[in-house]
Chain A
Amino acid sequence: MTTNTSESTHYPEYLIRGASILGGAKQDLLVRGGIIAAVGPAAAEDASEGAVTLEADGLVALPGMVDLHTHLREPGREDAETVETGSRAAALGGFTAVHAMANSSPVADTAGVVEQVYRLGLASGWVEVRPVGAVTVGLGGERLAELGAMAESRASVRVFSDDGICVSDPVLMRRALEYVKAFDGVIAQHAQEPRLTEGAQMNEGEVSAVLGLTGWPAVAEESIIARDVLLAQHVGSRLHVCHVSTAGSVEIIRWAKARGIDVTAEVTPHHLLLTDELVRSYDPVYKVNPPLRTSDDVHALRAALADGTIDVVGTDHAPHPSEHKECEWAQAAMGMTGLETALSVVQHTMVETGLLDWEGFARVTSTTPARIGRLEHQGRPLAAGEPANLILVDPAARWTVDPSTMATKGRNSPFRGLELPGSVRATFYGGHPTVLDGRLATPRPAAPIAEGAQAWNT
C-alpha cells in the first residue's frame, strides 16, 4: 500500500498492442493516468519509453464488466465472502464494478452501512464497489429505509433493492418507485409473490412433480413483474427487474417496453445455461432463487437478451460456506457463485451461438448496467479520453471450471467440471491493471478520501 499521496496517483503507462476492440479491427491502446490516452497509431507514438507493452494479439478488448447484482456478504457473513475476496473474484472475472447487494448483516439500509461497504471497496481496490441500498428497513417490507440519506451518502447509492425478498406490498412498492425519482434512483425488484412460493424449493413443473419438492411456479414471478411494470407506468418511474427466469416474464417485459414503460431487466448466466433437470441429483449446488427453469425458458431468455428485451447480465453471485450446501436439499441455502464464470458462460451461450457479437456482449455486461446504476466512469466507449476500465479477453481459450481454485470464498459453482470458452487475460480498473496474464496483479492504490469527494475519486 502506498503511503505517499502523490505516488498513489502515478500510474505506469501500458501500451496494449493489437487488441481487437469489441471484436473489430486490431488497434493499439495507450493507458495512462487512469484514462485511455490514445487509440490506434497515436497510442504507440504517444507512449513514453517506460511504457509497459502488452501484446494483445488474438485478444478482444472490452469495457470492464459491471455487475448490478453481487452478494459480497460483508458486513456480517465474512465466512461466506468479504468485500476483499469478492472483489478479487470480480477482477479475475473481468469486472471493474460490482453492486453489492443489501442483504448483509446489518442490512445496508442506512447511510452508515452503505458507506462502510463503499469504503471497504475503496480499500480493497480491485473493482469499484457500489453498495445497493435496501428499499425497506431491515428488508422487512414494512417501512421505507432512508433512501435519500443513502443516495446522498459518500456511497452515492442509486440502486435500491430488497433482493432475496420481494417488495410484495403494492403500496410500498409504488411509494418506493415514486420516492427514488427525487435522486434518479431505481428500484431493483426481486419478483417473487410470497404466498405462491411458501416453502418453494425448485421450479414447479414436471421435475418437481417427480422429485416431490415444493414448486416455485413461474406465475409467482410473472404476476409481480406485471404488477410492477404497471405501477412504474402509473407513477412514471424506472424499474429494474432482477434475475428474470421465465419465458412468461420475458413476454410481459417485452409488452411493457413496447408501451414505453421505463423498465430494464436482468438475467443471470446460470439461467442462460442450466435447467431444472439438474435438480434430479438433489445436489444443493443447483439450488438458487429464482430456481433453474426449463429448456424452453432458457431459450426464451437467450432470445430476449439478444433482442434487448432483457437489458443486462447480472451474476447474482451468491457465495455460501460449504456447510450451507453439504446438507439436504430443503435445508440448503439458495445461491450460486458467478463472478469468475460469467464471461465464459455468456460467451458460451450468447456469443458462440451467434446471438450476440462482442459489441452486444459489451452492451449487456457493461454499457447498460453502468447506465442503470448511474456509474459515470464505467461502461464507456474504448476511446481516447475515456476512463481506462477495460478488459482483454482470449476468446479462444478453453478451461475447466474448478471451484477450489477460485478467488471467491464460495465453492458453490454449478458449473463445476464444465469446460467453458473464454478467459480474462487482463483487467484495467481506473487505469491500473488488477489482473495481468490471467492472474491477480495488484489492487488499484486507494486515493485518499477527501472530505466531500464524490464516489469516483480519480
Chain B
Amino acid sequence: MKHLLSTQDLSARNALRLLDVAEEMAAVGEREIKKLPALRGRTVVNLFFEDSTRTRISFEAAAKRLSADVINFAAKGSSVSKGESLKDTAQTLEAMSADAVVIRHPASGAPARLAASGWIDAAVVNAGDGTHEHPTQALLDAFTLRRHWAQLGGSPSAGSTLAGMKVLIVGDVLHSRVARSNVWLLTTLGAEVLLAGPPTLLPVGVASWPCTVYYNLDDALAQRPDAVMMLRLQAERMNAAFFPSTREYSRRWGFDDGRLALLDTMGLDDTVIMHPGPMNRGLEISSAAADSPRSTVLAQVRNGVSVRMATLYLLLSGDQHDEPDDDLQDLQPATTPEGRTP
C-alpha cells in the first residue's frame, strides 16, 4: 500500500492487516505513555480544504502518538482560497518534504488526483473527499463492529472478519462518503449490508452495489440487523426537494424512541447503533438512541485514533509489503476494463 484512497480498492487482506495493526495501536492507547517512536523524523501534513475538527484532531493525535512531526494546513482562509491550485499546494508540500499528506477535500477524487498526478511523492491518505469516500471512517466503523462481533462470538478480535454480520446503513446515501466506504469495506470483510433511505437520497446505479436496498426503515429493521448505522442528514437537502420536511424525514427514516423500543421487542439485544458524528439529535437519531447502551458513538471516536495510527504506520513504516488484491476483483462490476468500447 502506497496510499489509502478508497475502500473499494482495498483488498480483504490489506483491510484485515490494517485492523489487526489497529488492535495493537489500541493497546498502546491504553498504556500510561501513549507514544511509539515508529515515525520519528517523519512529517505528516494534515491538508484540510474543508472544516472538520473531529477528523483532523483524530489524525493529529494518531500521528503524534507515532512520534511524527505534524503540520496542520487548513486550506480554507489561506492562499488556496485566493486561487492557489491543488497542484501548487501539493508542490509546496513536496518542497517541504512531507512524507504523508492527509487530505480532506470537498471535491470527489481530489486525493486520487493528488496521488496519481506526480505532483508529490508523499503517501496520500484520503480523509474524506466530496461525496466519494472516507476510508478511515469505514475502517474505524469496521474496527468497532469487529470488536463487537468477536466479543459476541467469544473469540479474539484480531484476525477475525465480519462474516455473518448484518449491517443496516440508513439515510442520505447519495451524498455520503461514509456510506460508500462502508458498503465496500464491510462487504469485503464478509458482512451483509442493507441500505435504507428515501429513494431520492439513494444514487441512481445503487442497484449494482453489493447490498439490499429498502425504502422503508421498518422493513429493513425486520431483517434483524446486528448493527444500525445512522447517517448524518443535512437539513438543507430539503430545499432541493429531496424530502418534504425534516419532520417527515425523521418520522420515516429517523432512529427514534419507537424504533429503539422495537429492537427490545424484537429481542435484538445485541444490535448496536452507530453514527459517524456529528449527530443531529432529534432528526436522524433520537437522544435516547444516541445515549443508549447500544450506542457505539464514543467507541467509534476512540477507535478512530487507532485505525489512523495503523494507516500512517503501514504507509510510512517502510514496510511496502502489499497483500494480493485477488479477493477484491470479484466485487468490481464487469465493465469494459479501459473504458474504451472495442
Contacts and interface: CB of A to CB of B under 8 A. Distances in A.
Interface of A: 201, 204-213, 215, 217, 273-283, 286, 292, 295, 298-299, 323, 326-331, 349, 418
Nearest to B175: A212
B56 interface: no
Interface stretch (B15-23, B35-43, B125-133, B142-150): B125-133
Contact of B335 (A213, A277, A286, A349): A277
A336 to B, nearest CB: 14
Given A204-B205, A207-B205, 18 more contacts: A209-B204, A210-B8, A211-B108, A213-B108, A213-B109, A213-B132, A273-B341, A275-B335, A276-B339, A280-B339, A282-B110, A282-B113, A326-B117, A327-B113, A328-B107, A329-B108, A329-B110, A330-B108
Given A213-B109, A277-B339, A295-B335, A330 B204 contact: no
Closest 8 CB pairs of A and B: A282-B109, A209-B205, A277-B339, A278-B339, A212-B132, A212-B131, A209-B203, A328-B107
A321 to B, nearest CB: 12
B87 interface: yes
B206 interface: yes
A198 to B, nearest CB: 9
A205 B333 CA distance: 12
B335 A209 contact: no
10 contacts: A206-B335, A208-B203, A212-B180, A217-B204, A273-B340, A277-B339, A281-B116, A282-B113, A295-B336, A328-B109
Interface in B162-209: 177, 180, 203-206, 208-209
Interface string B90-124: 00000000000000011111101100110000000
A327 B341 contact: no
Nearest to A329: B109
Interface residues of B, number: 35
Given A209-B208, A329-B113, A274 B107 contact: no
Contacts of B8: 210
Interface in B58-90: 85-87
B32 interface: no
Nearest to A214: B131
A205 B209 CA distance: 12
Contacts of A205: 204-205
Interface of B: 8, 85-87, 105-110, 112-113, 116-117, 129-133, 177, 180, 203-206, 208-209, 333, 335-341
B204 A328 contact: no
Contacts of A279: 339
A275 B341 contact: yes
Contacts of B105: 328
Contacts of A280: 339
A206 B336 CA distance: 13
Nearest to A198: B240
A331 B87 CA distance: 12
A330 B108 CA distance: 7
Contacts of B206: 209
A339 to B, nearest CB: 20
Nearest to B130: A212
Contact of B204 (A201, A208, A276): A208
SS of B interface (majority): loop
A215 B209 CA distance: 17
Contacts of A330: 106-109, 130
A206 B340 contact: no
Contacts of B336: 275, 277, 295
Contacts of B110: 282, 328-329
Of B87, B108, B131, B338, most buried by chain A (CB within 10 Å of CB) is B108
B209 A209 contact: yes
Nearest to B176: A212
B153 to A, nearest CB: 32
Contact of A274 (B133, B180, B205, B340): B340
Given A212-B131, A277-B339, A326-B85, A206 B333 contact: yes
Given A211-B109, A295-B336, A329-B109, A206 B131 contact: no
B287 to A, nearest CB: 30
A328 B86 contact: yes
A330 B132 CA distance: 12
A210 B107 contact: no
A323 B85 contact: yes
Nearest to B203: A209
Contacts of B85: 323, 326-327
Given A210-B205, A281-B116, A331 B107 contact: yes
A135 B210 CA distance: 47
Given A207-B205, A211-B132, A212-B108, A277 B87 contact: no
A212 B133 contact: yes
A349 B109 CA distance: 30
A329 B112 CA distance: 10
Contacts of A211: 108-109, 132
Contacts of B87: 323, 326-327
Nearest to A302: B341
Of B8, B116, B131, B341, most buried by chain A (CB within 10 Å of CB) is B341
Contacts of B86: 327-328
B5 to A, nearest CB: 10
A294 to B, nearest CB: 9
Nearest to B205: A209
Contacts of A327: 85-87, 113
A283 B116 contact: yes
A204 B204 contact: yes
A81 to B, nearest CB: 21
B211 to A, nearest CB: 12
B204 to A, nearest CB: 5
B205 A208 contact: yes
A282 B205 contact: no
B203 A298 contact: no
Contacts of B333: 206
A293 to B, nearest CB: 10
Nearest to B114: A328
Contacts of A209: 203-206, 208-209
A380 to B, nearest CB: 33
A279 B113 CA distance: 11
A211 B116 CA distance: 16
B338 A278 contact: yes
A277 to B, nearest CB: 3
